[in-house]
Structure formats: structure tokens, C-alpha cells
Amino acid sequence: MKKINLLLVLLAWAILMVSGQALAGKSSVEMGKDLFNDPTLGGSTNDKSCNSCHPGGEGLEKAGDNKKLVKVINQCVTGPLEGNKIDGRTAEMRSLKMYIQSLGAE
């Protein structure tokens, strides 16, 4: 019985690790920049991308310090892009954050 429990715990752990990695994926500044220019971000069907209003990330140099960056980004995703909220743990959102944070580092 104990062995089975241990096995179940190990199995649950393995599943969590794999699904966690799928969610996190590989995030990068480059991917964030691509998404920033992508008019289909968040499933958006209008022709706007982040870059339409923030060309080259202009004006967002200080936004990287914002503790609510995910929320602010999602406001622009669901607002002007008319897309769906992006989960903060996904590679997409992590990459967008990394790109915006990289703007302030210049």
C-alpha cells in the first residue's frame, strides 16, 4: 500500500513538472518582440498589434518596473486588440514581459 502511495506521488510530481514546463515553455526577448508585433496576439482578429500604438516599444521604457505589468499588458490585449487575456505563467506573457523589461535596460 505504501509503495503505491509513493508511486502516485511520484506520478503526480512528474505530471506537474511536465505541464509546468509546457506552460512556461521557452520564453525570450526575441519571442516577446515578435508577439509585440503580432496582430493575432491573444486571438485578436482586428489588425492592431501592440506595435500599432507603441511603435518599437516607445513610451514603455519605464513600464518594466511595474509590479502589475501582466495586468497592464492584458488591459491592452483585451482592450485595443480585442483579444483574450494571456495567462501570466505562459511563455507568451513571460516573453512579452521580458521584451518590455528589455526596453528600459537600454
**Positions that interact with ligand HEC (CB under 6 A):** 41, 48, 50, 52-54, 59-60, 62-63, 66, 72-73, 76-77, 80-81, 96, 100
The smaller minimum CB distance to ligand HEC, of residues 2 and 68, is found at 68
Q: Which is nearer to ligand HEC, 25 or 54 (CB)?
A: 54
Minimal distance in Å, beta carbon 31 to ligand HEC?
13
- How many angstroms separate the CA atoms of 66 and 72, rounded? 9
Q: Is there a contact between 100 and 63 (Cβ–Cβ < 8 Å)?
A: yes
What radius of gyration, in Å, describes the C-alpha atoms of the chain?
18
Q: Say how many C-beta atoms besides its own lie within 10 A of residue 28's C-beta.
A: 15
Supply the minimum distance, in Å, between the C-beta of residue 70 and ligand HEC.
Answer: 10
